[in-house]
Structure formats: structure tokens, C-alpha cells
Amino acid sequence: MTDSPSDIREAMRALHAMLDSPTIQRLGRAFAAGGQELALVGGSVRDALLGRAGVDLDFTTSASPDASLALLRPLSTAHWDIGRAFGTVGARVDGEQVEVTTYRADSYDHRTRKPTVAFGDNLEDDLRRRDFTVNAIAVRLPERTLVDPFGGVADLLAGVLRTPGPASVSFEDDPLRIMRLARFVAQLGFTVDPETFAAARQRAATIEMVSAERVRDELIKLLMAPDPVAGLRLLVDTGVAEHVLPELPALRLEMDEHHHHKDVYEHSLTVLRQAIDLEGEGGPDLVLRLAALLHDIGKPRTRRLEPGGVVTFHNHDLVGARMATKRLRALRFDKGVIKQVSRLIELHMRFFGYGEHEWSDAAVRRYVRDAGPLLDRLHRLTRADMTTRNRRKAARLRSAYDELEWRIEYLAEQEELAAVRPELDGRAIMRVLDISPGPVVGRAYQFLLDLRLDEGPVGEAEATRRLRAWWAEQPEAEDPDTTTPGRAVS
């Protein structure tokens, strides 16, 4: 986007279209009647100027939190003051969620990122303390006067991110703003002004002052953005990734002169992009995106140069799964997300080799069973992991996976594969073998499950016969005391 008259007219037209909202007009008139200033601010204005539909409406005001609540109550169906200590109150007006924050003039001690909260007395100073110029634009209400003291509109039209004041001071005040910088690059597709980039590199280590939960939240927003790769590159290039996700820059393995392996860093970013392309109508998938980004993080630890100059990464899938679990735990990710991501990483190499070695139906069943509810994501991850530039090899891999998916569908139709279970459950096993609950039941169940996977459905009678034959070979069958104290085994 360029700063041309037509671009400016288009942006202002989009802004005024939003300002025509009856909700915004009602709020502007109400605060003016109460003798208070009110302005639409921040992301609400930014997105309107970009012609994007916003979700929430953010306002800043001269009114205290109590005064804001008093003015909001007659207009709202609900209101809350959970952020009252920081000057923020919220309400639902005409079905829309609005937040109103008293002008702020915070100060920082630079030992933590938490400010000493202080209320301000004018709009311009409130805008000065915001993270980036594109978020430091306001519209006074109800008169619709644009307030842009730091050139945010020009930066918005030029697609540039910079801070309202000196970037070094801004990032010293709040190191999390460096993560937000990367997030906005991913969300908006903007570039970073050189001074801001230099300051981010200089202050990269201070991100460790920020709680893991806050870093995680910014990382999730970045990953769920339209182009997370651009934001991730910024984290790596500024050195911030070394402190929040060190496994990512570690993928930049030193190339040998004969290039015996791919650039794992670039490969991982390509896999992420290709996984996003495969998401379909379901929208952004955090688990899939994390798995795509981290699927090869085990390679640096498993890299070996074999005789003849061949580079290998044996068991990098298993090592990577453990590393991903450790990193995601450190970032306080949800246990369910951690489990699913690490399992996908563990399984991501399972398919490769299918094209060279014919899989039995039993192998296909195991593939489905091991993937479980992650099968669809595993399909997408595996296809995204095909980044070879050799067209013939790429076509062969795609064809092989097409065939595998077809076989899965065919066997599923024949056998209800997604719900593979032995013909006998735990209760039936105990009844047939006349044993009590214990480890033996689990071993018997696994025997029957392996039988089911290897041979398909065999029927309850045959499963019972095979189970009894298996039991006759077990040492516990000769010693009733190890299975059912005080009972004989028939």
C-alpha cells in the first residue's frame, strides 16, 4: 500500500463507514453529555482504516472508571469492571462488546514489564504510551476528529511498523512488545522500520522478563495469523527466538560443502506454509501448525555424518517429540495440545518408505490405530512434509500417499477401522480365562488386538479359541495364585 491520495480517501471512507455505527454514535453523545471526552482508539481504528471488520470496540476517555460505568449503565444490557484497577470497564451495548479505558500515563521500573498504573489527563499522552504508531491513532467522538500525532495513518498506508517514541525505550518499558511486533508482521503483512528492528535485536534477551503464559499467548496469535512464517523469521532474525523457542533457530544447521541434507530451517517453514494450505474450511489449526513447525526439531541432536559423506538423522522423530513436549510445557501450553503435537511429531516419519515397501493390511491398520483421532492431521502433516524439488520423486510420494489414503478408506468401509477393537473386551477375557482383574488381562487384550490388526475380524468364536491357546502357553496358567488367589483356573 502506498501513501497516495486515493489510498487515503479509501481508508478514510472505510473509517467513516464504521463510525456510522449507531452504537458508536450513542456512546459519543452520552459521554459528551456527561462532560467527558471519548475517543475510539487502537486496533478498532487501525482495522477500520484497513477496511477490516473488527470484533470489539475499544475506547479511551477522560472519565474515571466509576464515571465511565455510570455513563454506560443506561445504555447497556450488561457491564463489568474486571479491569477496573487498570482503568478499563466493559459493557454490551446494542449487542456489541465495548471496552472503555481511562487515559493512562504509566511508568516502568525496567525490572519487570508490569507498569505502575497511573491515569492521564489527555488523549495525546495516552497515545504516546502505545506500542506502535499504527495503534496510536484515535478518533474523537462524537465530532469524528482524527487524532494522529505520530504519523500512524502514513505508516499504516505504507505498511510499516515503528514505535511512537524511541524504540529502545518502548521495548525497555515492555519487552513483550517485541513479540507483538512479530505478531503484527504475521497478521498485517507489514515490514519493520530499521530503528525498530535494531532496538528489537538489542533488547531481545529482555523477553525473559515476561511470563511464559504471556509469551505463549503472543506466540499462538502469531501462529494463527495469515502468514506466521514472516513473524517467525522476525523472531529468529532479532534473536528473540533464542529465548522463547530456541529449537527454531537451532534448525539452521551448518551446510557441508556437498549439501548432503536440506536446509532444515527453511524446510520447516515451507512445511508450515504447506500445512496451512491444507487446512481447508476448518480454518487455522494450532495443533497442526505447531506440529509442522516443530516436526524436525530433533534433527540437530541426531545429525550424524556417516562414511561416504551421507548425513543421517536417525530417530529424530522420537527425539523431536520429547523436545516438543519439554518446550511446550515450558511455555505453559495446554496438556491436550502438547500431547497431540508431540504424537504427530512422533508419527510424522511413519509413512516414508511406504512407496518402496508394500504395506500389508495389518500395517495399514496399525497406522490408523496409532494415529487415532489425529489421523486427518497426520494426513495433512505428511503431505506438507513433501518438499522435494525433484518432480518425479514428489509425484511418486503423492501417488503413494493417495494410495495409502484409499486403502485406509477401503479397509474402514470393510472393517470400521477407526474403531478397531478385539472381539473380546476385558470382561469377556476374564470370563473365558476365569481370572480376576490385573496385568494379565491387559496382556491378553493386547494379544487379541494384535490378532485383530494382523488378520482383521476373525469372529468371537475364533478369538476365544486363539485366546485359550495363547493362555495355555503363559506361565500364569500353571500357577493360579498369580491370577486368582484361592481359585483354580479351568
Domain membership of residue 172 (yes or no) is: yes
Residue 407 inside a domain? The answer is yes
Nearest-angstrom CA–CA distance, 297 and 250? 8
pLDDT computed for residue 283 by the predictor? 82
Establish if 201 belongs to a structural domain: yes
Q: Any idea of the CA torsion for 245, 247, 250, 255, to the nearest 10 degrees?
A: -130
Q: Tell me: do 13 and 154 sit in the same domain.
A: yes
Output the pLDDT for position 5: 45
Q: Looking at the structure, do residues 150 and 202 belong to the same domain, yes or no? A: no
5 occurs within a structural domain:
yes
Say if residue 126 is in the same domain as residue 207: no
Torsion angles phi and psi, residue 187, rounded to 5 = -80, -40
Q: Are residues 148 and 168 in the same domain?
A: no
Same domain, 410 and 458: no
Same domain flag for 11 and 126: yes
pLDDT for position 419: 59
- The answer to whether position 264 is within a domain reads no
- Percentage of the chain surpassing pLDDT 90? 57
Counted domains in the chain = 4
* Residue 417 and residue 408 in contact, taking contact as beta carbons nearer than 8 Å: yes
137 and 172 in one domain? no
Domain assignment present for residue 257? The answer is: no
**Given a cut of 90, is residue 421 above it in pLDDT?**
no
Question: What mean pLDDT is reported for the chain?
Answer: 87
pLDDT at 222: 98
Q: How confident is the model at residue 298 (pLDDT cuts 50, 70, 90)?
A: very high
Domain assignment present for residue 258? The answer is: no
Question: Do 456 and 406 lie in a common domain?
Answer: no
**Predicted confidence band of residue 127 (pLDDT cuts 50, 70, 90):** very high
More confident residue, 101 or 310: 101
C-alpha span between 371 and 368 (Å, rounded)? 5
Answer yes or no: is pLDDT of 373 > 50.
Answer: yes
Last residue of a domain, one of 158, 192, 211: 158
Contacts of 20 (CB under 8 A, 6+ apart): none
pLDDT at site 485: 44
Angle made by CA atoms 450, 454, 459, in degrees to the nearest 5: 80
Q: What would the pLDDT profile of 321-371 be if each residue is shown by its tens digit?
A: 999 999 999 999 999 999 999 999 999 998 876 655 677 888 888 888 889
pLDDT at 405: 85
Please give the pLDDT value at position 490. Answer: 31
Would the pLDDT of 113 be above 70? Answer: no
Do 194 and 148 lie in a common domain?
no
User: Which residue, of 127, 158, 189, is where some domain finishes?
Assistant: 158
Q: Is residue 418 very low, low, confident or very high in pLDDT (cuts 50, 70, 90)?
A: low
12 pLDDT higher than 90: no
Report pLDDT for 340: 98
Return the CATH number at 121: 3.30.460.10
pTM as predicted: 0.79
370, 386, 350: which is closest to 420 by C-alpha?
370
Q: Are 61 and 100 in contact (CB under 8 A)?
A: yes
Arithmetic mean of pLDDT, 197-226 = 96
- Let me know whether 355 and 455 are in one domain: no
Banded model confidence at residue 254, pLDDT cuts 50, 70, 90 = low
Can you give the pLDDT at residue 354? Answer: 64
Q: Tens of pLDDT along 385-416?
A: 988 888 887 787 788 888 888 888 877 776 66
The answer to whether residues 412 and 441 belong to one domain is no
Full residue range of the structural domain in which residue 392 is found:
273-419
318 lies in the same domain as 352? yes
- The mean pLDDT of 417-446, rounded to a whole number, is 84
Give the torsion through C-alpha atoms of 299, 275, 159, 178, to 10 deg.
-40
Q: Is the pLDDT assigned to residue 156 strictly greater than 80? A: yes
Query: Can you tell me the distance from the alpha carbon of 138 to that of 168, in angstroms, rounded to the nearest whole number?
Result: 24
Grid cell for residue 291: 506440529
Contact yes or no for 58/41 (Cβ under 8 A)? yes
19-42 pLDDT tens trace: 999 999 999 999 999 999 999 998
Q: Where among 108, 135, 158 does a domain terminate? A: 158
Instruction: For residue 268, tell me if it sits in a domain.
Output: no
